[in-house]
Every structure is written in C-alpha cells, then in structure tokens.
Amino acid sequence: MITGVFRDASRPLAERVADLLSRMTREEKIGQLGQVRMSDYEKNRSAYLDGVRAGKWGSRILAETAWAGDGGASALKVEQLNEIQRVAVEESRLGIPILYGRDVIYGHRTVFPIPHSYAASFNPDLVQRALSAVAAEASSEGVHWTFSPMLDLVRDPRWGRVIESPGEDPYLSSRMAVAAVRGFQGEQFGGDKSLLACAKHFAGYGGAEGGRDYDTTEWTDNTLHNMILPPFRAAAKAGVASMMAGFNDLGGTPVSSSRALMRDWLKGELDWNGFIVSDWGSIFDLIGHGVAGDERAATLRAFTAGIDMEMIAGFYERNIGALIDSGEMPATWLDDAVSRILLAKFRAGLFEHPCTDPSRAATTLRHPDHVALAVELATQSMVLLKNKNNSLPLAPTLKKFAVLGPYAEARREHLGSWCLDGRPNEVTSILDGLRTAAPEKEFITANAAFSDACVDVARQAECVILCVGESHLRNGENKSIAELALPPGQEQLIAALGGLGLSLIVVDCSGRYLPSPAAEAHASAILHAGCLGTEAGTAIARVLLGHAYPSGKLPMTIPRSTGQIPLYYNRKTVGKTVTFVDRYRGYEEQLLTPLYRFGYGLGYTTFTLANQQLSAATMSADGAVTLRATLTNTGARAGAEVVQFYICDPVASTSRPGRELKGFQRVELAPGASRVVTFKITAAELEFYGARFHWEVEPGEFRLGLGFDSAAPLPLTLTVMAS
C-alpha cells in the first residue's frame, strides 16, 4: 500500500486531498465517480472484489431498487461490508475506502416520524437530536452516508413524496435543513456515530405538474430563488457533505443537466465544497427528457452541469475518459469532482476507520435513549385539528372505548414508505399503546375489514376512537393520487360511526394532510398523527389520554378539495382582489379559504399574546431591531404554543407574498404562567430576490406581527431607511 501525506490524519484536509489526487491514475479517478449496487453479492462476489481491487468504484448504494423503502432493500451485513472495505483498503493500489450510502431518511431500527410529520413539531433542536440518534444506529451497521434531508418545497399534496418534505414554507424548511445536517453529521464531520448528509432533490422537484411524480416543473426565476433554493442554501451553509440532483425538467432544462444551478450557483456563487450525486438513473433520464441522444451525450451534459458522482447507470465509467481525450470536457473538471468526493471521505474519517466493529450494533440499535426521543418527537409531531367541547383529552370518567379502523392494530404502516430497517414487530400499535398506558380502562376492537362489525362493537362503548389513514403503499415515491381523499370506504365508516351519537375521536395516520368531509361533519375531535414510526402507539395514547399535550402545527395548508390546489399561505397578492374587494370570490361553488391554514394546531389549553412592540420603528438596511410580546397560558392545563413571526412587504420592486414566516419559538408554560418572547429583525428577515436579480433589502415600510398560525395579524410597521 502506498504511503504519503494523505495517510497523515494530522495534516490539513486540503493537503491530504491534493496529495492523494496527485498519485491517482485517470482510471482510478473515474472510478471514484461511480456508485454501484453490487446486487446478488454472494453470487458475484469474486467479480465485485476484483473491481474493488482495481479501484473501479468509489461508492456502493445499499439498496436493490429505486423504491427500496417499500421493501426493496436487503438487510445490512456488517461482515460483508467489512470484507469489501478490507479489499479496498488493503488490496487496491492506493487503499481508498468505499463510501456506503443508504436511504436512512427518518429512522433506522428506531424509526422516528416522517419529515412531513416531524416538521409539524416546529422544534428543530429536537429534530436534530432525533436524527443524531438515527445516525448513530445506521453507522453502527456500516452505513456512512444517508440520502437525506429532502428539502423539496411542496404545494401539491397529491404528490406522493410530500411525505419526505418539511412542507410549503422556505423558512421552516431551512430550519429543518440545518437541524437535519447537524443531526446526521454532528457539529463536526467524522466520528463513529455520524453520517454524511445529502440534501435533495436539487432543485424544484416538489413542483411536479399535477402532483405526478417525475413530471416537469415550471418555477419562475423569482419563485426559484425566493422559495425553492433557500433550504438548499441553508444546508450548504451548514456544511452538508453532498447534494442530489433531481429527476425533473425545470423550465426546459432537466436539472441533472443544469450548469446554471449546479456548477455556477451551488459550487460557484455559494462556494460550496461538497459533492453532487445524481439521483437513481437521472443521468440516463436525460435521454428520456430528449436533451441527449445517447449515453455519451448524457454523460457530457451531466458532468458539464456539475454532477460529480453517478448513481447506478455506469455512464461515467464508460464515457468520461473518451470525452476528456476528445477535448469536450477539461481534465480539471475530473480532478475537481474527485477532490470533492475524497474530501467527503476524509471528513467522514474513512481513511482512519474504514471498517465497522460488528459488536457496536448490539449496544446501539433501539437504545432506550433513542426510543425515548422517538416518543418525544412523535408526541410533538401530532396536530390537533378539531376538539369540539374539549372531547380530548379523554375524560377520566369514561371507562370503555371502541378502538376501530384500519390503523387500530396496524404496525408496518406506521413506519412510512421510506423505511428500510425498521421492524414491524417492534412497532407499538395504537390499541396496544392505549392498553399499556391505561390498563384500568377497557379497550375493545373489531376486524377492520368488516364495517358492520365495527359499528356493532362501537355500540358497546362509551366513546369511539377511529384510526384511519393511508397505508405506506399509497404514498411515497411514484405513489401520487388524483383526488385528495382517504382510501375507499373510510369516509363511509366515519359517517356510519358518527351516526351512533357517541363521542367520535378520529385519529388520522395518513402521511399527507387530507381533508375529510365526514370527519368534519361527525367527529368530536380530529387528531392528525401522520406516520410516527416505531413509537406511534405510545405517543398517540399519551396525547389521547392527556398524559401529554398536543402542540404540533401544520407545515402545509389543508385544502377543502382537490380543486383548490395549489393552495398555500404565502401567496403573492393579486391586483383584482383589491380592486373588487367586495365581489371577488375565487370560486363560485366553494370558499376560497383553506380547510386548515399553515401553522394551525390546537392544544389542551389556551394562550394569549399581549403587548407586541418594536424596540424601534425605523432601522437601516444593515441594522437590527427587536420585536417582543408577552405570551400567557390562560387555560387550566400546562401546554406548549408555537409563537410565529410573520412579515409583509406591501410595496416592492416585484410582487411579494401577502405574508411570510420569518421566525418561530416553541414555548412551554404552566397554567397562568407568562414569558416574554423576542425576535431579532435584521436584513436576513427582510431581504428578498428582487427585480435586480440578487438578494437585497429594499427601503420602505414592512408590516409585521406575531401569532399562532398564518392568519396572525400584522399590527406593527417597521420602516427601513435607504442606505
């Protein structure tokens, strides 16, 4: 094995990368750009190991299909991964370790809520701690790199991958981006309990037309910079190790061939030093998009755009050498791409610790601290949408409950559609969670396949807890729906049980936020639980019984019907709505307003905000002022409220949203207690990408205020003075 500066962990990373790069042949460099599956490893073991010895590949993806989360992933085998790694380190010419990547999206053996659910917690610190636990578990089984967080801004809940997104708001998504990067990677790279993170899908994939996965997207330059790119910019600033190029065409240029976005903006303007990986076959897809006639042309377009590593197809391996020889791409691009990948491997500590101790997993997986974190995050991720006559928490006087519906005893479904390593037998069902939390009460159930049996059992109870929702097979990648509705039959079941005259509690475990006309009409309370992971039943029982309080807030608007899509809170102002303020309706047959607005969520107590005031009424563009108010728990129970800070820029060089979230704080208070909340306002809260095609704070008046959802009043005025 060759020795040199790159072997010395005390030397600066830039020196180690440069030294190793100088020793590599062109074939070894190209090898670092390829990621392979190594399918049927035992059958093809000899050929794979020969390829590793020759330095043919830099990474292995630990998945069998593009839809691994729905059952296409083989179990991790640490000894197999170590065998491959030992060959790479000890038997290849330079001993460069293999980077193992896997879709560890929101859990490993301990499965946490899906991102669309955990975003509702409005608690980035807790999310960071949770994903740190996820990283510890996955790394204990040999994983180095996760393809998460997904930062696609979403406005169409028909799209199946909405479940992976933090929602419709760029500020909330940016906060969750930073939490995820720091959670997976740690405050610093390296260590045996961290993973390299990968922000995806860069960029705009969440706008797939019609909610159809992989479809074209049409974001304007203004929307792209103000709404779509900020979470990726936040991830880059937080030091995310990698980003993944999306499948989508964006205004005529497939993102996987967009030099303007990747090589120029991300690597150039932001000066980000991570590496970009293609999505599964997205370079091959350039042929399908019609911008490349064959794999050679697709390779040229993707590599020119700035994709450093190719997932799966092998186009780079077969074509980059010839493209350099022909002069169609400079050799310096190859060196840049390889340097970025090597830097990530050095940061991950793979040269010092290439193999995984097989004994680590036994003391890491399902660690009690991880389970406790999963319960805490699941509890805070639920959103209480309706609570008529304080039906929740369940009254202590009630003794007999009917727990019904498809999710009453479900297990696998709580894990969501992007879970490779969670085990259904380790999931706590809702029925089991209730029986464990309240053994003194009686919980009866019926076979969910027979609605008549459910109705009969419900008649025997004092209260009905109906657990509905989509299965993990109805959302996720390539799982879009045309109509926003619960799966067939569930609306009818809600209506049938609602006609019994009993208190009806609807617990919705859908990954999406779906409108339910029957629940609105018949339910006493609606609790959106979402996909909460292995501890779902425990967390749901705690909230229903009042052992914990709900505090989640909607990260996405819930429309009244499919026809309202797209419907999101931070819409731009529309001229005619001002001109015809008394006549504009939006729709003839339906209200224009949403069923539930962004940021909305009830609790078991009440809060008030008083004395909103600014420290100054004016500020310079580079100055700062403070917004403060007093939050008081005016109810009889302890609770948590998310104080949300919104602004409006009513006159600007381009049209602007009617309101934008620019800050939030989750505050827990005992009954009668108060706390002063403060928000610092600087250029970061007021700037936008405007008519001059760059970010700036324009002078003028801004309206702002605090509240508990996106309908918060904006009573204050701040004047920004010209520089």
pLDDT digits (tens, 9 = 90+) for 110-168: 999 999 999 999 999 999 999 999 999 999 999 999 999 999 999 999 999 999 999 99
CATH 3.40.640.10 fits 368-564, yes or no: no
pLDDT of residue 497: 98
Q: What is the DSSP annotation of 550-570?
A: -----SS-B-SSGGG-S--SS
Mean pLDDT of 223-247: 98
Cis peptide before 201 (omega within 30 of 0): yes
- Mean pLDDT in the chain? 96
Confidence band (pLDDT; 50, 70, 90) for 660? Answer: very high
Q: Within its chain, how far is the Cα of 88 from the centroid? A: 33
Percent of the chain with pLDDT over 90: 94
Q: Is residue 189 pLDDT above 80, yes or no? A: no
| Domain regions of the chain by residue span | 5-106+121-361, 368-564, 605-721
Q: Which spans in 595-670 are helix H?
A: none
CATH number of the structural domain 605-721? 2.60.40.10
pLDDT of residue 64: 83
Long-range contacts of 337-340 (CB under 8 A, 24+ apart): 337/32, 337/33, 337/275, 337/303, 337/308, 337/309, 338/21, 338/24, 338/29, 338/32, 338/33, 338/308, 339/17, 339/18, 339/21, 340/273, 340/274, 340/275, 340/308
Helix (H/G/I), strand (E/B), else coil: 43: coil
pLDDT of residue 575: 83
C-alpha distance across the termini of the chain, in Å: 61
pLDDT of residue 580: 76
pLDDT digits (tens, 9 = 90+) for 661-679: 999 999 999 999 999 999 9
Phi and psi, residue 267, nearest 5°: -80, -35
What's this model's pTM, rounded to 2 decimal places? Answer: 0.97
- Alpha-carbon gap, residue 552 to 598, rounded angstroms: 11
Mean pLDDT of 209-228: 97
Confidence band (pLDDT; 50, 70, 90) for 69? Answer: confident
Confidence band (pLDDT; 50, 70, 90) for 440? Answer: very high
Q: With helix as H, strand as E and coil as C, how does 262-293 read? A: HHHHHHHHCCCCCEEECCCCCCCHHHHHCCCC
Q: Which of 180-194, 540-554, 647-661 has the lowest mean pLDDT?
A: 180-194
Mean pLDDT of 203-232: 97
618-620 and 198-202 strand pairing: unpaired
Helix (H/G/I), strand (E/B), else coil: 313: coil
- DSSP for residue 446: -
Q: Is residue 368 pLDDT above 70, yes or no? A: yes
pLDDT of residue 578: 74
Q: Is residue 457 pLDDT above 70, yes or no? A: yes
Q: Identify the active-site residue in 169, 213, 279, 508.
A: 279
* Amino acid of residue 654: T
- Alpha-carbon gap, residue 602 to 604, rounded angstroms: 7
pLDDT of residue 485: 97
Confidence band (pLDDT; 50, 70, 90) for 581? Answer: confident
Mean pLDDT of 232-244: 98
Going by C-alpha positions, the residue among 189, 103, 200, 83 that lies closest to residue 145 is: 103
Q: Which spans in 25-123 are helix H?
A: 26-32, 45-53, 78-91, 115-118
Q: Does 279 qualify as catalytic in the annotation?
A: yes
Confidence band (pLDDT; 50, 70, 90) for 72? Answer: low
pLDDT of residue 68: 75
CB 607 within 8 A of CB 641: yes
Fold matches, 5-106+121-361 and 605-721: no
Percent of the chain with pLDDT over 70: 99
Burial class (CB in 10 A: 0-12, 13-18, 19+), 352: exposed
Confidence band (pLDDT; 50, 70, 90) for 624? Answer: very high
C-alpha dist (Å) from residue 405 to 394, 425, 451, 638: 18, 19, 9, 31
pLDDT of residue 23: 97
pLDDT of residue 71: 64
- Alpha-carbon gap, residue 282 to 303, rounded angstroms: 12
Helix (H/G/I), strand (E/B), else coil: 471: coil
Mean pLDDT of 182-194: 86
C-alpha dist (Å) from residue 682 to 54, 99, 321: 54, 41, 49
pLDDT of residue 722: 87
Q: Which CATH class is domain 5-106+121-361?
A: alpha beta
- Alpha-carbon gap, residue 120 to 512, rounded angstroms: 12
Mean pLDDT of 637-653: 97
